[in-house]
Structure 1
């Protein structure tokens, strides 16, 4: 019986193929690092051909462990969002390097659009800010600055897509002929080119950003019979039955399928999404609106808040200051002292994200004394995760989506001290799954539902989510208020 799910988890620093059994158990995994290209300050690029080659190699490594491709019921893809690939529809080859979501080169174009008064209307229609983070301005930059991209546009052979779109194209391309040019609704909602209420890319938005709508993929559901791999790749066709951007996939992997349910992923940065149900998000506090899920044309939305610096702060303590040798030592140091000794860190090493949105902010450490040492700095760094999350929680509540429980994942979530501190500072229970690779698990849930292994996504989530650890709040209110007072003073010092 074909009851395995193959997930291609294409991240920013690596790509993986992960084989799941139908109960959510991980059966096999293969991973390859991706080369990061930094042509100049603020620019980040990937080689789209390398992404494809390494993803394919990982898939070929794990498929035999299922007993062959015929044993795989469906294939799911989850990807780094907003990263843009441009390729030629006839040759199937990239026309330039992919521009990564972290890239800031399009800020002058975004500024011009903001100064022209477009941001309020764009946010109302798309749920997004006019920021280089999103895909549309990257496409425009390629058209303006890469002759091969402009020539392909003029010839009618240009294809734009985010990374899942690129992988589907390559997976479905035969030795001759073009592959499927599709994108799922969650990734499409991160481009600035689709209205949250719309079912496809919007010509008026494409015209505003100067992107030919003919170069864009078809917007499809996130689960179902979406496409199939070319038989020559793996020996027989594998149905492609699930697609999702990484943060949406993690939210699904955390089974946040009902309105109000919230997950936070603590990786390099931190991303918080709250299920909004069928209501189109309209934030009054600079949160983002996004498509969480679309199946059979039915949409669920989410409000999203993004923190720029989370795990990267611990990496900075390790690599630049030598405070710890490995990230896990921060927990030991935090537990070794009763408090941070008044030390507070605002980790604005690359600006402040939501709800502050201050790109010019820089990091601040306050409250230092001769008594301050490695333990105080390490504890203050972990405390900063709860402080930033608290600010997001207040903004979400002001938008009418107060959190009742926070479901956490990502590399930092393994830190028990930080998980408890989040519960204490937020005053709500925090849940952590036993299997923290929730991005890949969410893609597996979508693909399993799309392949018919389960009647719907809720059934797949119930069967595949696994065990949980729960952290209950226990902090005295006076301690919480003292922490928050110091945090606010430190923010004011920026």
Structure 2
């Protein structure tokens, strides 16, 4: 393969879209980030405009190419990493969205999954999908679309409807409707896929009122999904040779290819994920089974816990409370907080994910005193991220046949040394922070590059560590802090009932 060949990684996340460019050695050489609107109404419903997202993907690639016009002919393959559970519906023949995408954070499906006739199926849902019955996943969001958007069933009857997650929409849009597909890592998060067979479940589609004829085929994660030139930005069409959920993309990019290897992604929410091998593992309530990826027809399963708001609380501090003007400020503010302050913040803006899985609870601040001020609120917000991750890792440790010996981390918040040290202290585990924070997009690009013959599998196991954090906290302090957190969560849950 020529030394000047390039591979593109698209990381379409909750807050925006990143276009990442990698050279023939797998090193990131350029990136472009474009935010998109967070459409939130007075009910707390969270939506994204599908056309805006597609336009931002194309614009991100255009900007990368505009900085070096030779790139238009050198980019040889692209991999897609996408926010998961976020789901939309569009007309197959025109690609016109029938409604905004309903974002994974949105709890509008809570009323449906709380109905007695649906709750009675919770064990069956878990048996088929590996997931807890929850509005967090795509299925109940699709139910809302079916019940509230008349065109859904109208176009389904005409076989002119597509329903899918962001990966499926981008594949459709980037190929101008020539392709429509998904893969197991994203499909496993819909609560509609049988995790044992990796096929759509007719039983669950019936339960959630989902027209099966509108769902995409489930291909391998490293399949050839279609060809695109990004609306003429590139000189020729290139293969979309990987699609993967952003959390699984990060696990792949971290090189967590062996059972027991674990990572945490600090995005708007967090995914704590362990490679569980080639079989579905029985796990504790609060932890779920998902598919990591299927490459060349070989499946890798994962154990996973998801947090609705982790690094998203930093955006809240900045954009809503106006306590900071830059996320970088949080480190110094937290480090200068009063040592005796015992403020806890439970960031249940749209309910709590693992291990609680409740959409009714809302955010709560407890334990404030006269010494509580800006610094203490910021520290409590950062600490809430680490406490939630600690809860999930604790359950994974109880479920997995192999212990977690080390945690690989990724995402922008890993650049916050205060948060990373506090996380290592709570977990009593060493943390490895990679040189590049863009592990989701990197994982997608590497998977596409390997499938296209540009990279070898060795690219996944090279050392990517920038910094390590070693636990320093004593057991008594750790236990006191986690006890205080669990009391705060109980307070939030009691107020939400």
Aligned 8 A contact 2:107 2:350 in 1? no
Alignment partner of 1:276 is 2:276: yes
Alignment partner of 1:291 is 2:291: yes
Indicate the residue corresponding to 2:179 in structure 1.
Answer: 180
SS in structure 2 of the partner of residue 290 of structure 1: strand
Indicate the residue corresponding to 1:53 in structure 2.
Answer: 55
**How far, CA to CA, are the matches of 2:86 and 2:490 in structure 1?**
34
**How far, CA to CA, are the matches of 1:102 and 1:196 in structure 2?**
23
Instruction: Choose from 456, 470, 478 the match for 2:476.
Output: 478
Per-residue CA deviation, residues 310-365 of structure 1 (Å, 9 max, x unaligned), is 22333444455554443322211332357343333333343322112233333443
**How far, CA to CA, are the matches of 1:39 and 1:366 in structure 2?**
27
Summarize the Cα distance change of 1:305–1:150 in structure 2 as closer, same or farther, 3 Å threshold. Answer: same
Per-residue CA deviation, residues 179-210 of structure 1 (Å, 9 max, x unaligned), is 11111111111111111111322222222222
Summarize the Cα distance change of 1:23–1:113 in structure 2 as closer, same or farther, 3 Å threshold. Answer: farther
Per-residue CA deviation, residues 86-116 of structure 1 (Å, 9 max, x unaligned), is 2222223223322222222222222226655
Aligned 8 A contact 1:74 1:240 in 2? yes
**How far, CA to CA, are the matches of 1:68 and 1:318 in structure 2?**
36
**How far, CA to CA, are the matches of 1:315 and 1:171 in structure 2?**
30
Correspondence 1:262-341 to 2 at 5 A: 262-336=262-336, 339-341=339-341
Aligned 8 A contact 1:339 1:379 in 2? no
Summarize the Cα distance change of 1:392–1:315 in structure 2 as closer, same or farther, 3 Å threshold. Answer: same
SS in structure 1 of the partner of residue 152 of structure 2: helix
Indicate the residue corresponding to 1:424 in structure 2.
Answer: 425
Question: More deviation in 301-310 or 87-96?
Answer: 87-96
Aligned 8 A contact 2:223 2:241 in 1? yes
**How far, CA to CA, are the matches of 1:485 and 1:13 in structure 2?**
32
Q: Give the drift of 1:239.
A: 1.2
Alignment partner of 1:204 is 2:184: no
**How far, CA to CA, are the matches of 1:369 and 1:42 in structure 2?**
30
**How far, CA to CA, are the matches of 1:272 and 1:80 in structure 2?**
15
Correspondence 1:238-257 to 2 at 5 A: 238-257=238-257
Question: More deviation in 98-107 or 343-352?
Answer: 343-352
Indicate the residue corresponding to 1:362 in structure 2.
Answer: 362
Q: Give the drift of 1:480.
A: 1.6
Question: More deviation in 312-321 or 292-301?
Answer: 312-321
Aligned 8 A contact 1:70 1:238 in 2? no
Per-residue CA deviation, residues 124-171 of structure 1 (Å, 9 max, x unaligned), is 111122222222222333233222222211111111121111111122
Aligned 8 A contact 1:44 1:102 in 2? yes
**How far, CA to CA, are the matches of 2:143 and 2:258 in structure 1?**
37
Per-residue CA deviation, residues 258-309 of structure 1 (Å, 9 max, x unaligned), is 1111111222222211111112133222212111111011111111111223
Aligned 8 A contact 1:449 1:455 in 2? yes
Indicate the residue corresponding to 1:142 in structure 2.
Answer: 145
Indicate the residue corresponding to 2:122 in structure 1.
Answer: 119
Per-residue CA deviation, residues 421-452 of structure 1 (Å, 9 max, x unaligned), is 11112111011011111111111111111111
Instruction: Choose from 92, 96, 102 the match for 1:99.
Output: 102
**How far, CA to CA, are the matches of 1:132 and 1:354 in structure 2?**
13
SS in structure 2 of the partner of residue 132 of structure 1: coil
Aligned 8 A contact 1:228 1:237 in 2? yes
**How far, CA to CA, are the matches of 2:164 and 2:366 in structure 1?**
44
Per-residue CA deviation, residues 43-91 of structure 1 (Å, 9 max, x unaligned), is 2222222222221222223245372443222111111111222222222
- If the length of structure 1 is used for normalisation, what is the TM-score? 0.91
SS in structure 2 of the partner of residue 17 of structure 1: strand
Question: More deviation in 358-367 or 478-487?
Answer: 358-367
Indicate the residue corresponding to 1:412 in structure 2.
Answer: 413
Summarize the Cα distance change of 1:350–1:365 in structure 2 as closer, same or farther, 3 Å threshold. Answer: same
**How far, CA to CA, are the matches of 1:75 and 1:471 in structure 2?**
33
Aligned length: 487
Aligned 8 A contact 1:281 1:290 in 2? no
**How far, CA to CA, are the matches of 1:139 and 1:55 in structure 2?**
24
Aligned 8 A contact 1:285 1:398 in 2? no
Indicate the residue corresponding to 2:155 in structure 1.
Answer: 152
Unpaired runs of 5+ in structure 1? none
Summarize the Cα distance change of 1:50–1:352 in structure 2 as closer, same or farther, 3 Å threshold. Answer: closer
Per-residue CA deviation, residues 1-40 of structure 1 (Å, 9 max, x unaligned), is 2631112222222223221113232222233222232355
- If the length of structure 2 is used for normalisation, what is the TM-score? 0.91
Aligned 8 A contact 1:285 1:399 in 2? no
SS in structure 2 of the partner of residue 76 of structure 1: strand
**How far, CA to CA, are the matches of 1:230 and 1:253 in structure 2?**
25
Indicate the residue corresponding to 2:225 in structure 1.
Answer: 226
Q: Give the drift of 1:231.
A: 9.1
Aligned 8 A contact 2:351 2:360 in 1? yes
